[in-house]
Amino acid sequence: MTLTDTRPDADSSLLASLAAIVGEKHVMTDAHEMALYLSEPRELFHGSAVCVVRPGNTAEVAAVLKLCHDNDIHVVPQGGNTGLVGGQIPGQGGFREILLSLKRLDKVREIDVSSNTMTIEAGVTLLRTQQEAEKLGMLFPLSLASEGSCTIGGNLATNAGGTAVLAYGNARDLVSGLEVVLADGRVLSNLSKLKKDNTGYDLKHLFMGSEGTLGIITAAVVKLFPRPRGLATAFVGLSSPQATLKFLDLALAKAGADVKTFEFISRFGIEIVVNHGQNTRDPLSDPHNWYVLLELGSMNEAGVEDTMMGILEAAFEAEIIEDAVVAASLDQRADFWRLRELLSELQKFEGGSIKHDVSVPVAKLPDFLDEALAAVTKRFPGCRPVPFGHLGDGNIHFNITQPVGADKEKFLDQWDAMNTVVHDITTKFGGSISAEHGVGTLKRDLLPGVKDPVHLALMHTIKQALDPKNILNPGKVI
């Protein structure tokens, strides 16, 4: 089978030129093979492309982009294809657009223990990055439910968050240097390990969070951290969002930087996981309106459990929490984490779900939840909210499950109306309509309504300066 057999509308000259760069077997045109790359996990976005191109190194990425730039071919970069806002999926035009998969850029180039850094290519999975650090007794703290599939390039291009932001920051905070291929094929090589460098603009931050619209990240120098020697994990029941915020304040006051995780889940979220997950159960004997997964990590092996017990005892005494259990083993800790990690995946068993990835200032989170919950249940009677997420950094996955017995498609048709209700309240509280999942296609048209006009104008100016032909990921973000 030749490259032109399965796509009669494809430009054979383009395909031949791409094959000359990456090898014929790495230019995919078969519709069945391409299908895996052209839709995303929630099946909300489907696209088409001339082909899927799989370069094996930075030089090949640069050559592909130069070719596409010279011939006005659009390029949609993709990592592990785990994104939830359509940023990694081509449009429907197809003929003048290629999908550039970075999965073959999967080398760990260097680990520098003295500098506490690892230089890795964009296609290395997040899980492998964690494992490589662990081999050396170190920690790469970025942690996401999709870590077995998502890639470092995609994590950085979307400025991923996850469960450890409270202690370590977002993805952009975990990087000291980048290698990026620009729209015209030039390579910005700044794989710096430096903690201090004030020689002009810190350009790496332009590309992290840009979702592949300004350049394609091909490698990064990521920061490694000492691995905590002592861990203590608790699962806690509370009565209200106000109580969860008081509990967070108390935990930070008593444990400070040792507070590594502070995740919250609604009662309905726990019911979803217990009812539909395998080997899951409610750790507490009685139901509670809200739950918190609290984890402490200390460089001292001894003492962290005492600190945890001190936090819980003080919280009980102040009548902030209703019940709690501390993991007595690694298996029990894993059980606690499973309740949090499976929630996104298992919501589908309750029917259609309208998603929101929002953030508000931490101090305003209880008021936001009270107002948003009241608003959506009034506007959409019978709907079942499933708020959960990263209370420690103000990021809420405010998802709304369809009413019992409702028609799924009719419920999902209310997506825009539901977004309007939730996003209006988010904006009122000084929040963001995209906390960690990005903008992509899903939220692109919402930005003019929530971003400062000068901010948007500067985004367009930067895009025009770096990609004047609009080659990179057109139609995404702006």
Query: Residues 154, 144: contact at Cβ < 8 Å?
Result: no
Average pLDDT of the segment spanning 101-107: 98
Model pLDDT for residues 27-82, shown as the tens digit of each residue = 999 999 999 999 988 878 889 999 999 999 999 999 999 999 999 999 999 999 99
Query: Residues 37, 81: contact at Cβ < 8 Å?
Result: yes
3-state secondary structure (DSSP) of residue 305: helix
Rounded distance between C-alpha atoms, residue 152 and residue 116, angstroms = 17
Rounded distance between C-alpha atoms, residue 473 and residue 216, angstroms = 10
Average pLDDT of the segment spanning 388-415: 95
Average pLDDT of the segment spanning 245-258: 97
Which one is the CATH code of 351-437: 3.40.50.720, 3.90.45.10, 3.30.70.2740, 3.30.465.10? 3.30.70.2740
Residue 3 has pLDDT above 70, yes or no: no
Model pLDDT for residues 346-397, shown as the tens digit of each residue = 999 999 999 999 999 999 999 999 999 999 999 999 999 999 999 999 999 9
Which amino acid belongs to residue 450?
V
Rounded distance between C-alpha atoms, residue 273 and residue 365, angstroms = 24
Q: Determine the topology of domain 12-101 in CATH.
A: 3.30.43
Average pLDDT of the segment spanning 8-13: 66
- Same CATH topology for 12-101 and 230-344: the answer is no
Q: Residue 95: which pLDDT band, with cuts at 50, 70 and 90? A: low
Every domain of the chain and the residues it spans:
12-101, 108-226, 230-344, 351-437
Query: Residues 80, 67: contact at Cβ < 8 Å?
Result: no
Say which DSSP state 402 is in. Answer: P
Query: Residues 372, 422: contact at Cβ < 8 Å?
Result: yes
| pLDDT attached to residue 94 | 57
CA-only gyration radius of the chain, Å = 23
Q: Residue 7: which pLDDT band, with cuts at 50, 70 and 90? A: very low
Q: Residue 2: which pLDDT band, with cuts at 50, 70 and 90? A: very low
| pLDDT attached to residue 141 | 97
Residue 178 has pLDDT above 50, yes or no: yes
Q: What is the mean pLDDT of the chain?
A: 94
| pLDDT attached to residue 43 | 79
Can you read off the two tokens belonging to residue 278?
């395998």
Q: Residue 281: which pLDDT band, with cuts at 50, 70 and 90? A: very high
Query: Residues 122, 77: contact at Cβ < 8 Å?
Result: no
Rounded distance between C-alpha atoms, residue 157 and residue 345, angstroms = 23
This model's pTM is above 0.85: yes
Average pLDDT of the segment spanning 102-124: 97
Residue 434 has pLDDT above 90, yes or no: yes
| pLDDT attached to residue 301 | 86
Give the residue, 82 or 1, on which the prediction is more confident: 82
Q: Determine the topology of domain 230-344 in CATH.
A: Alpha-Beta Plaits (3.30.70)
Average pLDDT of the segment spanning 277-301: 95
Beta pairing, strands 97-101 & 52-53: parallel
Average pLDDT of the segment spanning 132-160: 95
39-43 — which CB contacts under 8 Å span 24+ positions? 39/89, 40/81, 40/82, 40/83, 40/84, 40/86, 40/88, 40/89, 41/81, 41/82, 41/84, 42/84, 42/355
Residue-wise DSSP of 78-120 = ESSS--SSSTTS--S-BTTEEEEE-TT---EEEEETTTTEEEE
| pLDDT attached to residue 474 | 94
Residue 139 has pLDDT above 60, yes or no: yes
What proportion of the chain, given as a percentage, has pLDDT over 70? Answer: 97
Token pair 């791409």 in the structure block, residue: 18
Most confident of 122-131, 339-348, 431-440: 122-131
Q: Domain 108-226 has what CATH class?
A: alpha beta
Average pLDDT of the segment spanning 167-192: 97
Can you read off the two tokens belonging to residue 49?
């492309």
Residue 109 has pLDDT above 60, yes or no: yes
Residue 1 has pLDDT above 50, yes or no: no
300-304 — which CB contacts under 8 Å span 24+ positions? 300/229, 300/230, 301/229, 301/230, 302/230, 303/230, 304/230, 304/231, 304/232, 304/258
